Amino acid sequence: MIKKHFLLILLVPVLCFSQAGGGAYTFNPDNIPCISKEAKAQIKIELQKSINDLIQKGKLSQKKSAAAAQKFSWPVKTKDNADFTDVWAISNYVDHNKNFPDKVEDYNCGSRTYDTNSGYNHQGTDMYTWPFTWYQFENNIAEVIAAAPGTIIHKHDGEFDMSCDFNNNQWNAIYIKHSDGSIAWYGHLKKGSLTSKNKGDVVTEGEFLGVVGSSGNSTGPHLHFEVYDKNNNLIDPFKGECSSNISLWKEQPNYYEPHINAIFTHNVAPSFNQSCPEIEVTNITDQFLPNSKIFTASYYKDQLSGTTANYKLIRPNGSVFSRWNFDFSDTYTSSYWYWEWNNLANLGIWTFESSYQGQTVRKKFKIVSVLGIENHELNKITIAPNPFESSLKLIGFDLNKDNYKMSIFNNLGQEVFSATTFSDELDLQFLSKGMYILKITDKKNNRYKSFTLLKR
């Protein structure tokens, strides 16, 4: 249910890289509703029951509040110490045109929303994870936080959280009532990730509520954020010509917010061809052998037509190895672009730098003579014999072999052997005498362990 558009361009060889690739990534292109009318009606019944129960217990006031309209901070944040500058992009806003089908109008009088033939008008803001949406899901990288202080009036957990299409499942969600009587819905959360706080407990602004997931009607991990006022009327927190004259955001994002969500270095070109909900093999690494394949990649949200991104590769001594620009001819909600290199030989710490619309992000990576150990789960593996003459045995591996791949590199960094699954014994008679590097890589997170081999 996710569409990708790809572009492959041959570039000028004097810039030292061989090619560029990438393109657009589109979330929910088929406009699958986030929640059915029936499910929404049931939720409203459950919320009213919860409110009545909390009033009886003295945890909520029965009087309608006269407090000023609640202002919100952004409800999605990057997990601390994650190697992403940002983790979200917006696919859809509230639809203010109640007609259907294909009669849409977001707060800015644009079309970044949807309706359906059955009469569903999108009634929230959808914030999907980007890049590597399922990798983020698996590693709890995109966190949902309270956009405002309030009281938990209801929460629902335990539902399947890897949906890829329309279904009748309930979503995992949490509902918070604020001082002005408004209620915020946080939907599609990851199963088992919701806060341990219960109905009637108070949360503060910015407090952890859960992890972005894909429970309920969903084509992939995203947060559906929906707000109702004290009279149970849907409200759009965005100020715009086709919405309210007042923004309910403390800092309202621009309609398009060009941003670098991440830059990475990969040992294989990034790809988003996996089937939902398969977790992406990111091939992210920050250690490479001299003159081996290196892919430098940038990941954007709200790429704008007519803008330009600037890049640099900086040697360990601080001198610029290469600099180049890339002009964007299209506007994409999310996109990625990468460049391939095979001529970086200087040992030490390199820097890949990407600049776009006033933002500069830097990624450090190393060119090393021997690849280091990066996966502590694989530390118990030993190899024998070493030095070897024809075959090599690997001892102590008791993990899922299908989740790991194997590669052998010569001392020039060239791959001379590869296997898509782990094997306990390798027949390496074909190798010439000399030194080699054996690398065992976890396909899911790209962590690896490497061994130095000597063929006699």
Where do the domains of the chain lie?
3-26+258-367, 65-230, 376-455
Q: Please give the Cα distance from 325 to 334 (Å, whole number).
A: 19
Report the distance separating Cα 214 and Cα 210, nearest Å. Answer: 12
Angle at CA of residue 206, ends 201 and 209, nearest 5°: 55
For the four alpha carbons of 10, 270, 3 and 27, in that order, the dihedral sign comes to negative
pLDDT at 15 over 80: no
Residue 379 is predicted with a pLDDT of 66
DSSP string, 396-419: S--S-GGGEEEEEEETTS-EEEEE
Give the model confidence (pLDDT) of 21-39 as tens digits: 999 998 887 777 788 788 8
Instruction: Please compute the mean of the pLDDT values over residues 374-378 and round it to a whole number.
Output: 55
Out of 135-149, 208-222, 407-421, pick the least confident: 407-421
Residue 68: closest CA among 181, 189, 237, 186: 181
- Is residue 452 over pLDDT 90? no
What is the edge-to-edge ordering of all strands in the sheet holding 382-384?
382-384, 391-395, 425-427
**One-letter amino acid for residue 206 of the chain:** G
Residue whose structure tokens are 């707060």: 107
% of the chain with per-residue pLDDT over 90: 65
- CB neighbours of 349 closer than 8 A, spacing ≥ 6? 316, 364, 365, 366
CB of 317 closer than 8 Å to CB of 345: no
- pLDDT at residue 134 above 70? yes
Q: Do residues 300 and 398 lie in contact, with contact meaning Cβ atoms separated by under 8 Å?
A: no
**Is the model's pLDDT at 376 over the cut of 80?**
no
Do the domains 376-455 and 3-26+258-367 match in fold?
A: yes
What global pTM score does this model have? Answer: 0.79
Q: Find out whether 112 and 105 touch, Cβ atoms under 8 Å.
A: no
Write the pLDDT tens digit of every residue in 67-88: 889 999 999 999 999 999 999 9
376-455 has which CATH code? 2.60.40.1220
Q: Are 404 and 368 in contact (CB under 8 A)?
A: no
C-alpha distances in Å from residue 211, one per residue of 12, 15, 40, 157, 341: 43, 41, 21, 12, 36
Question: Any bridge partners for residue 393, and if so which?
Answer: 384, 425
Would you say residue 5 has pLDDT above 50?
A: no
* 3-26+258-367, CATH topology level: Immunoglobulin-like (2.60.40)
Give yes or no for a contact between 210 and 190, defined as CB atoms under 8 angstroms apart: yes
Could you give the CA distance from residue 421 to residue 436 in angstroms, rounded to a whole number?
A: 19
User: Which stretches within 312-392 are classed as H helix?
Assistant: none
> Which pLDDT does position 9 carry in this prediction?
38
Q: What is the mean pLDDT of residues 330-340?
A: 97
Burial grade of 291 (CB within 10 A; 0-12, 13-18, 19 or more) = middle
Q: Is the peptide bond between 385 and the residue preceding it cis, with omega within 30 degrees of 0?
A: yes
Residue-wise pLDDT tens digits, 207-242: 999 999 999 999 999 999 999 999 999 999 999 999
* Residue 400 φ then ψ, to 5°: -70, 115
Q: What is the largest CA-CA distance in the chain?
A: 85
| Domain covering 65-230 in this structure, CATH number | 2.70.70.10
- 13 confidence band (pLDDT: 50, 70, 90): very low
